[in-house]
Every structure is written in structure tokens, then in C-alpha cells.
Structure 1
Amino acid sequence: MIESLLVANRGEIARRIIRTARRLGVRTIAVHSDIDAGLPFVTEADEAVEIGPAAPAESYRNAERVLAAAVRTGAAAIHPGYGFLSENAAFARRVREAGLVWVGPDPDVIDLMGDKINARNAVAATGMPVAPGTLDPVTDEAAAVEAADTVGYPLMVKASAGGGGMGMGIAHDEAELRKQYGGVSGFAARMFGDPGILLERYYPAARHIEVQILGLADGTVVALGERNCSVQRRNQKLVEESPSPDLDPGLRARMLTAAVEAGKAVGYRNAGTVECLVHGEQGAQDFVFLEMNTRLQVEHPVTEAVYGIDLVEEQLRVASGLPPSTDLTGLQPHGHAVEFRVNAEDPIRFLPGPGAVTRWEEPVGLPGVRVDSGYAEGTKVTPAYDSLMAKLIVHADTREEALTRAREALAAFAVSGPKNNLPFFTELLDEPTFTDGTYTTSIVAKMR
């Protein structure tokens, strides 16, 4: 096992990685911006280094400063968490060139899967279904209109180099396509340095289902079940659960097999997620590949709950060249888990509402309840970063019991100061399509 680890992230995911590293006896180093100095992850690490001001480009996304902190503190490895530098292949290469261990997949795989079109073409070669779409990036509006006639409406207009639900729009006709093309292409150029666009068939009544894979040190790739991530606002996930309700068992088996084959085809190592869209009703369901995230997902705790494992530990073991903590090839899930992302945003329009935390009371003493939080009373949620404050995870023997447990846990979770979306989750648990498990990605729009 590596002896020391720099966590190149912040908030709840930094705390979560530090917690596992401490349990394994690994020395931890936190890097932080100046305004994050008072957050729990900074004080919980064995050592902390301030690397710059609030702007991510000057701190958490600044590869030079992160690497300098790693070298100065004698870190043996870097764990990027999610977001920021986690899917930056150039940074991963520099970590390795500096003689440090990169806790993630090979940089070439990050490059391949970081481009939606290349990723789509790579998995299609393994036999995984893909939605009708363009095989090459579309780089001008006229070409987009021409390609749309072949692909067919409605369309998803996606930034080829984007990820995490960023840089996307929907077009039902040529007029909408022209409008969306300019907006998405401009956003892609600003955010990702690449204006290339992917046009892909849009499935309005679909489920967003993802498969957790883990590439082991010996080359084995295993699938650790799937997660339903269909509760979304602006293509950003709010609630995830595992196993996915209302999913045909035969289709589930095919999805898991296809995800493993895709991982094997690219020589995948460490944790990753193959995201898919499932369309159709029970008995006539099918799926198409959406994208692959070459990192740990925000929603990884639901997989941990149903499989009884620690994915961060498995990541560190793979990066250290060690076998997994248990035989993962035959590991079976138990029960049902649901995760709620507690964000600093209003529960109606989901607009950011940062502020000083004057009250922070997590549910305690409830069986099967876990909270991964990045804040505490007396800290401050700033507009400089994502609005995620904490994740509430519940686990029980059945989905019905898990939802009952979730109601109790949500009622016991109190946050004052920043706006928060806890009331939305209470409302969601009374929504019939959510409680019966038949909901799709349109559920939030229908509720609002």
C-alpha cells in the first residue's frame, strides 16, 4: 500500500478519501484554497497546504501548484476525487512523470473516453449499443443541420469534449438545432477548449442507468452492479439508487456484461463508470451507451452500501498493485440503497443559494444511514464551487424499507444559512412514479 496520499480535491469527497486513507494507515495531505481553510477536510488531513485563491484555475485546477505541494510534502500518490483535475489526462501524465502514483486509469484511456465521439466509437466496436449519431465532431452549423437530417430529430446536442452533464442541449427541429448549436459550441470552446459537437438521438422518456466497473491490478475487470441516476435537474443528478427499480433482469445482465467488455477493450484499471440510457417499457427495454467517466463518481456510496465494500480502498489497492480486499468476481449485492445530494440551492428552481452555515444537524443514530458531508456549523458555502454540501445515503433490505428510512433521515437533517434542497426530496418521496420506481429523466421537469 502507498504510504502517503495527496487528495487533489475539496469538500465531502476529500473528507471521504481521507477517512479511508486514515483507516489504512496512509498519511494524507490536503490541498486547499484560501477560502476553504476552515473546512473539515483541511483539519482532518495529516497535513494541509494552501495552494491559491478561491478561483479553481488558481487552486484546485492548477496542476503546477498541486504537483508542487505533492513534491514538497513527500506524497507518494495523488487521488483526484471527481471534477477539477480528475479527468485531465495531461495532469495524470505529469503525476506519473514526477514519479508519483496516479490513483486512476491510464492517461491514454482518460483521453480516449474524455472525447464523447471517440468513446462512443470505441465501445461500439465491442458490440455495445450506441444511439444513432455523428461519427465525427461537427464543427459548423451547416454541417450540423445536414447531419441532423440523417440522424433524425429529436436530437441531443453535446459538447464532444464535455462531461458530467455539462454542455448539452435538446433540439426538436432545425430552428432549435441552430439555436442550440451556437450556444453549446460556444460553451464547449470556453469550458473545454474544443468547440466540437456530437449530435445524438434524444430519448425523452428514458432512464439514466450507469454500471460501476473496477479494473483490477491483474487486468481483470469486474462490474459492481448498476445505479439509477434519472432524478436530474439541468442534466445534473440529484438522487441515485441501486439496484435500479423497474429494470428488466435480462437487460441488467446484458448491460453489466457490455460494460465489462468495454473496460477490457481499453485496458481499464481502477474505478470507472459506464453510463447508459435505457428506453422502452418492461419486456421491451433496450439500452444505448451514453459516456464513460474515468474516475470515482459522486454516487459511489450506493454501490458501497449494497456490495459492502469501500471503493476508495479498492482504488488505492489497484494503484498500489495489490489484489482487491476480497474476491470481487463473485460478490453479490444485498438490499437497496438511495443517495440524496444535499445542495446549497433553493428547492423550487434549484438556483444556487450560498451562505454561512448557522445550523448543521445530520441525522444520527439511525440504522442504515450514512452522511458524507463537506461542511459543518460555522463554515461557509461560497459561490466559487459546486453547490454540493453533503450526500445522504440510506440502505435497507428492500426498496420500500429504504424509502421509509429516507423519510426519517430527511426529517432529521437540518441546515440553516445557505438555501438547501432538502424539502424537494421530501416532496419527491411522495411522487407516485418515484415511489413505484417507474420514473424517467423527465420526473423533475414534470414536478416543476
Structure 2
Amino acid sequence: MPDLGGTIAAEATPPGRGAVRVVRISGPLAGPFLESHFHPVGPPPSEAPRRLCLGELRREDGRPLDRALAVLFLGPDSLTGEDVAEIQVHGSPGVVRGCLDLCFRFGIRQARPGEFLWRAVSLGKMSLTEAEAVDAMVAADTEALALRAASALGGRLAGRLSGLSARLLELRAAWEARLDFPEELGEAASPQETAELEGLASGLAALAREGEIGARMKRGWSVAIVGPPNSGKSSLFNRLLSRERALVTPHPGTTRDVLEETLEIGGLPLVVKDTAGVREAVGEVEGLGVERGLEAAAASDGTLLVFDASKGWGEEEEAVLARLERPPILTLANKRDLCSAGPTHPGALPVSALTGQGLDELVGALRAWMGEVPPTGGEIPPAGERQAQAVSRAAAAVAEALQGHREGVGLEVSLSALSAAHRWLREALSGEGSDEELYERIFSRFCIGK
């Protein structure tokens, strides 16, 4: 594993231009760096820790680099447990680069991905589950994902996993004692132990379901808009996005490539794909576009079949339906504003991409199709994919132990499954393997400033 000692620095805000960007420093040189290069208007950060100080960031030759704010957190009362400095500069890439170069010339090195959180975990400032929750929070693309990540912060998830692990260990110890001392304790599990096993199976199964929900929410859902040419697919695509993303003309075959955009519906991510109109293609290029559109529809979780309500449902629409690999989740009678009669296909939802008529009903139908996914489902969800997989395997092992116990296979066989479950819970809590393996598997994929 690369050396993770010394003092480190990195930008804690996303790259690019902005009003303010932050450089974070952690280690024994954090305070001395501020004393050397930050010249405050008032008391220096070392005399006013945990308070923002206004001053000037200067180069070695005394020339000012920027007017900045700086704060010093003295260890162990800091993010990492070490002395930590944070410098707020104007959001210029040149200023940030200059600040970091000052740090590196001062003997501070570039932080590696996730190294700030790695130090926090190593020094006991947060648990591994909390560190992964921070990473999940940073990666959250929707409010629902952010709420799930927040529920794992503050040690609640670690406490839940620790409690399940302790109960599992206690049950294992009781059954191992029965195997070692059958005459004194009896060879069969007591009703209380059976009830405890059932409770553990139920609790872990609920936690595993939360992991599955979280993975699904992160992956999102996808729908492809398909239909004959000039049925208003691109107009509907633009209406859903509330902007002109796709080119719209009265000429059939305008759309050739598949366009994709992500919407947030009820806090959940939905990828919407605009595809070429399905017909017997006029030319090779249009034919390729049609095939790509059908492939995109097949690869999506669902399809929206759009037809022109002013023309009605006919052979053209039937031909499109026949080329889909599975039935559409919704059939939309578009251009409803151009006709007074109802839709000419059973179950079709009348909409108008031009006026927005029926769009609320369409969004509601999509949200219902995506399913009712509560932010936490009543449980504290696993913080990340690694943890969710470990919890899922622990749940499967306990379910196996319970099934074997009900079938009377004997405590020894069920104990083997409980031992496996306990190992997976330890993996969920603190990881397994050396420091190098743990860093490479978990922290190396975090952003550098975390």
C-alpha cells in the first residue's frame, strides 16, 4: 500500500470555476503552513481555532495569491483526528492550483482518493459504515438517495449491524455449548433460541431488502419512447425535459440517433430515451436509426408507445407493436389537442406534447410503474454496494440456518451457516483483510478531497 503518512492536501470542492473553492490540509504541517503563508487581518487561526479568519494567502516571495478565509481544526477534534486546515479561496482554477503548489513546496503531499476519510476511520473518528455513507451522500443524484445516505450517518447503521452481530454471536455460543455439553444443556435448541434465530433472519432479510432497493434506486429506471414517424415522440421527449433537447420537424425520419436524458420523478432517477420513428426505412441511414431505436427499447426497463390520436390507431401502429420485444408499459394517444374524440386504442392515455395536457397523469403513471420505494423502508439502509452485498450474504446464510433447523438437520449443520453469516456481518461492519486490501477495495474509489 502507498505511504499514507505525512501531511496531505487536496481540493475539497468540485473542479471548475465557481464563487468559492476549498483546499483541505490534514496532518502535522497544517498549522505551520497557515502560519507561513496565511496572513490574517486579526488573530491567526492558531489562536482562534474552529473560527474562520480573513486574510491574505501569500507566496514564498511575499506576493499575494488571493484574499482568503482560513480555519484550523486542532486534532483530535477534527474530521480526520489530526490537525486540519481548510482554506477558502476564490473559485479560480489558477488560484487553487497556486494554493496546492504552495502546499507541495512546503512538504505537504497530494492526498490520494478517499485518504481524508481513511485517516478518520484509522484514527477512530468515524466507522467504516459512516465513511461509506459519506461517499454515498456525495454520489447521490436524487433527494431520495441523499435521504437514504443520511440515514446511515451518525453511527445508526453501525449500531444496527453491531447489534445483529452480537445477537448472532450469542446464539452461536449457546449452540456450540450444547454441542460440547449435550448431557448438561441438551442437544435441541430451546424455544427462545429458535425465536431468536427467526428474529435474526427477519431483521437481516429486511436490511438486505433495503440494500436491493438502494441498488435499484442508484441504477435508476429507463424507458424508451417508440412509435411511428411524426407521432410526436421527440416533442413528448422535450416536454418531459421541459426544454428543447430533440430536433422536431414535420418531416418523417428526422430522429436518427437515440437521445438519452435523466429525469427525477418522485425523487427517483428515470432515463428517458427518444428513438427514431419505426417504419420501413427510406435509406440505409434511417434504417440504422430504426434498428438502434428498437435495440434501445429492448435494453430499457419499459417502453412508451406513442401514436397520433388525430389519425387514430391503425396498421402502422400494429406494425410497431409487433416489432417490440415486450408489451409497452403505457400507450399514449398524443396530439390530443387536435381531435375531439377519445383515444382510438383501448387503455391509451390521452396526452398533448404541444399543450402539456395529460403530462401530470403520464408522470404519475410512470412513478407508479417505478414502484413505491420509501427513502428508508423502515430500516437503516446499507451505505454502499460492498456493504449491501455483505448484508445480503449474511441474510442468506441465516435463512439457510433457519431452514436447516426447521428440517431437523442438527445444530452442527446450522452452526456452520451461522458462522458464515457472522463473517459476512463482520465484513459489512469493518471489512476483511489487510489495510492495503481495505483501502484498495473501498477508499481508492472515493473522490480525492474526501
| Structure richer in helix, relative to its length | 2
| Global fold match (TM > 0.5) | no
Give the TM-score normalised by structure 2. Answer: 0.21
| Structure richer in strand, relative to its length | 1
Q: Which has the larger radius of gyration?
A: 2
